[in-house]
Chains A and B, each alone.
Chain A
Amino acid sequence: MSATTPDRPPHLSRQPSNASTIAFVATVLLTTALFVLSIYQIFFVAPIEAVMGIVQKIFYFHVPSAYVMYLGAIVCFGGSAWYLATKNGKADAIAQAGGEIAVAFGLIVITTGPLWARKAWGTYWTWDPRLTTSLLALLIYVAYLVLRAFGGEGEAERKFAAALGILGVADLPIIHWSVRKWSGQHPTVISKGGGGLDPRMVPALLISLAAFTALAVVLVWVRARGEILARRLQAARDAAIEAGLVQEEQQ
């Protein structure tokens, strides 16, 4: 139900459709169900790992968090490229939402990993290639968000942020290949050359990956929509100022 009437100003004509609301609620419900199922699988079905013990269960949230960090970075990349090509504000909002997801889940990766490492390696942190490149990726997206927050709202600033959003994604293949290229201590259980997972651990990991993907979709959706609405409001205010209906704010 797209509420577009001829007498409404353009900045007020785009209302969320019923289909979009239903899709959003369905995604939230799916996310909740997947998390409940993943927690059941992790704690009641998947066995305790023979060498590391119960601490290995961090794996089921650590790996999907890293995957969602990648996903956020890819969304940021896509939105940034789209913005640079079209100057579409919606694309810029999506890029920003992607950057925020990359930082939130990067923080999860960089804090849960050391807790696991404390038990597995005997130390919280080591300058292993994968750990170092993951930290670098987090710092790139923190820089991106700092630029968004304090760099201003001008087109030049948005273009600069978009360029950073595109360059930031270059670190992802480096993280992925770092284990093979430079060795290091980080496990390679599920990638090429790894010993593989116990079959009873696989469903817990797959469901957890699905749950985190659904959560990422919900968060990007909410953040991008909020950002788009904020920009539409700003555009409406600018239009009101231009029409002489509202006075410009004193700085």
Chain B
Amino acid sequence: MSSQPASATAAPAAAPATTAPATEERGTAMVGKDVSTETVPGGNLMIASYIIVWVIVLLFIVRVFQRQNEVGKKLAELESDLSKRGARPER
């Protein structure tokens, strides 16, 4: 009776080290990593952060440029309409 539990506990412990796990076992062995022990690359996060800052500022400037183009197009349309009517728009 006493030898039976010992062999029962020893077998699963030895199995992963010596043989490849069966397909069924692989599907049930998903263990989360403790966040506190994880090494996060701070440098990468910092670089990503600085890139985000400049990308957002750049996008803002591009949007301003696009809006100025829209105003320029509307102005050209108005000038064209006025010149068709014989009016001379001021420059």
Contacts and interface: CB of A to CB of B under 8 A. Distances in A.
B49 A115 contact: yes
B90 A12 contact: yes
A230 B46 contact: no
Contact of B45 (A8, A12, A115, A230): A115
A224 B82 CA distance: 27
Contact of A226 (B45, B71, B85): B71
The SS class assigned to the B binding surface is helix
Given A8-B90, A104-B56, A247 B45 contact: no
A66 B67 CA distance: 26
Interface in A211-251: 215, 219, 222-223, 226, 229-230, 233-234, 236-237, 240, 245-247
Contacts of A246: 78, 81-82, 85
Mostly, the A contact residues are helix
A14 interface: no
Interface string B34-76: 0110101011011011101100110010001001101100110
Given A65-B53, A116-B49, A100 B74 contact: no
A118 B45 contact: yes
A222 B64 contact: yes
Nearest to A55: B42
B87 interface: yes
Contacts of B56: 104, 107-108, 111
A77 interface: no
A122 interface: yes
A240 B36 CA distance: 69
A245 B71 contact: no
Interface string A106-119: 01100110011011
Interface residues of A, number: 39
B38 A219 contact: no
Nearest to A97: B64
A133 to B, nearest CB: 21
Interface of A: 8-9, 12, 52-55, 57-58, 61-62, 65, 100, 104, 107-108, 111-112, 115-116, 118-119, 122-123, 215, 219, 222-223, 226, 229-230, 233-234, 236-237, 240, 245-247
Interface of B: 35-36, 38, 40, 42-43, 45-46, 48-50, 52-53, 56-57, 60, 64, 67-68, 70-71, 74-75, 78, 81-82, 85, 87, 90
Given A54-B42, A107-B56, 19 more contacts: A12-B90, A55-B45, A55-B46, A61-B50, A61-B53, A100-B60, A111-B52, A111-B56, A115-B52, A118-B45, A119-B45, A123-B35, A223-B64, A237-B78, A240-B78, A240-B87, A245-B82, A246-B81, A246-B85
